[in-house]
Each structure stands twice: as structure tokens, then as C-alpha cells.
Amino acid sequence: MTGIFRAACVQMRTGLDVAANIAAAATLIREAKKAGAALVATPEMTSLFEAESDALFAKVKTEDDDVALKAFRALAAEESIWLLIGSLPIRVGERQCANRSFLLDPKGHIAAWYDKVHMFDVDLPGGETYRESRSYRRGDRAVVADLPWGKLGLSVCYDLRFPHLYRSLAKAGASFLSIPAAFTHTTGQAHWHVLQRARAIETGCFVIAPAQGGKHENGRHTFGHSLIVDPWGKILAEAGDEPGIIAADIDPAKVAEARTRVPALTHDRPFTLA
């Protein structure tokens, strides 16, 4: 791992019009590049935030035909940046999507992809109910991808609550973790900051967590507060509720420094449950 680089998070308020969402994301991605970012990350559901099943399947395409993926591949090449598209809804069956994250290299090639493993099927206080598994197929593989500065472990939103995933990514060599999200306002207020910082601390990784924020066309209210967190748990950059960008300089040497201070990744021990 060599060299300090700048990472940026794009915070969005994705709506129901794919073309409008692509344009909004592209504007912020270009802004992040102008701010010096070599790695730019967008949130979960960058291209479409559609909760109604019939409307979703009327709009989603296969990976080969997805207009957003084509646009973002061209943009990564145009701006010569590493671009992490937090996720796009990708059709994988007649009535089934994948919640798929894409890492694009500076030539616009797909360097890695990851399907969200953990489905957000919950009933929250106040009547909020979510059943992601009704429309989305869960992934079954963890992914670590190569960046010029080290390895990136990919995840999406609800994955954040499953620390064994991140421990596995770190043990597989990840120095950076991407956690793009569309956290609900209810759960975000209670858990967003502490979970993001915990994932950074327990793995000794940088966390890059671009988020959706505000009141959306589909009726959802997301928390926002995109974060970049260092391996010691310090918040390097944080957004508010509005669309925009945040950026921070990332020193990969801080990963080894944190893991030397507290080498927890080497201290796993077998045990039995009495």
C-alpha cells in the first residue's frame, strides 16, 4: 500500500426518474473529481429508488442493458477516476433484482461487483415495514477488490449490521470498506454513526459510507450523514441531510498503524458455547 489519496462520498436523494438520477449523480461525481478525489463513491440505489414492485420491474434492466451502468462506466473513463457505484437495481429474473454494487476503474471497466447479501426485512416502530426480499435476490459471495492503494471490501447498507462479514473482508486483505446505504431515518438516528465507527475500529479499516438523505419521491425518509471514518474510528468527513459531496485524504499507512496498536484481527480463538 503506497501513497495518500483523496476519497469522496456522493450523497443523493434519488427519485423515480432514472435519467434525472443519473444526471444528478454525474454532476456530483464531477464535483468530487474537481475537489481532487481519485476514488468517488455513490450511495445504495443510485439510479432508482422505487419501492413499488410493479413500477420497479417496469424500469429495471439486465446488467448488459442498464443505462445507468453504461453512463457511469463512460463517466469513470471520462474523469479517469475509480468510481464505486454504491448499488443499482439489476434485473436477474422475471420478478427479481439484484442490489448490485459496481467498482469501475479509470478506464470504465468493471473491476468488481457485489450483490448485497443481507436483505432488509424488518418491521419498525411507527408502522414502517420493509421486505427487500420480495423483489431482490440475496447475494452469496463476499468481494475484495484491488485498488492502487490497497484492497477494498465491498458491502451494501444492511450488511453493516453483520460484523463477521467485515472481519472476513479485513482478514482477506481489505484496508478500505465501502458501505453505501439508504438507511431509514429511524434507524439512522439510532445506529448509523456507532455502527460505521465500530466496523472501522474492529477491522482497522477506513470506512467509506455514501448515503441517501432526506424525503424521497417514493415516500421514504433516509438519514443521510455520509461518512468517511479512519481505522481508529475517527470521523474524517460527514455530510448533513442534503445532497452534496464530502471528501477526505486517506493515508493507507494508518491501517497498519491501527492494527499494530490493537492487533485484534490476529487474536481470534476457538471456543465452545456452554
Q: Give catalytic residues, as residue numbers.
A: 44, 116, 157
Which residue from 203, 217, 269, 213 is spatially nearest to 244, judged by alpha carbons? 213
CB 215 within 8 A of CB 180: no
H or E element, residue 103: strand 96-104
Report the distance separating Cα 199 and Cα 8, nearest Å. Answer: 19
The β-bridge partners of 207 are 177, 229
100: exposed, middle or buried (C-beta count within 10 Å: 0-12, 13-18, 19+)? Answer: buried
CA distances from 115 to 6, 86, 132, 190, 235 (A): 26, 11, 13, 26, 27
Which residue from 123, 129, 120 is spatially nearest to 99, judged by alpha carbons? 120
Report the distance separating Cα 189 and Cα 207, nearest Å. Answer: 19
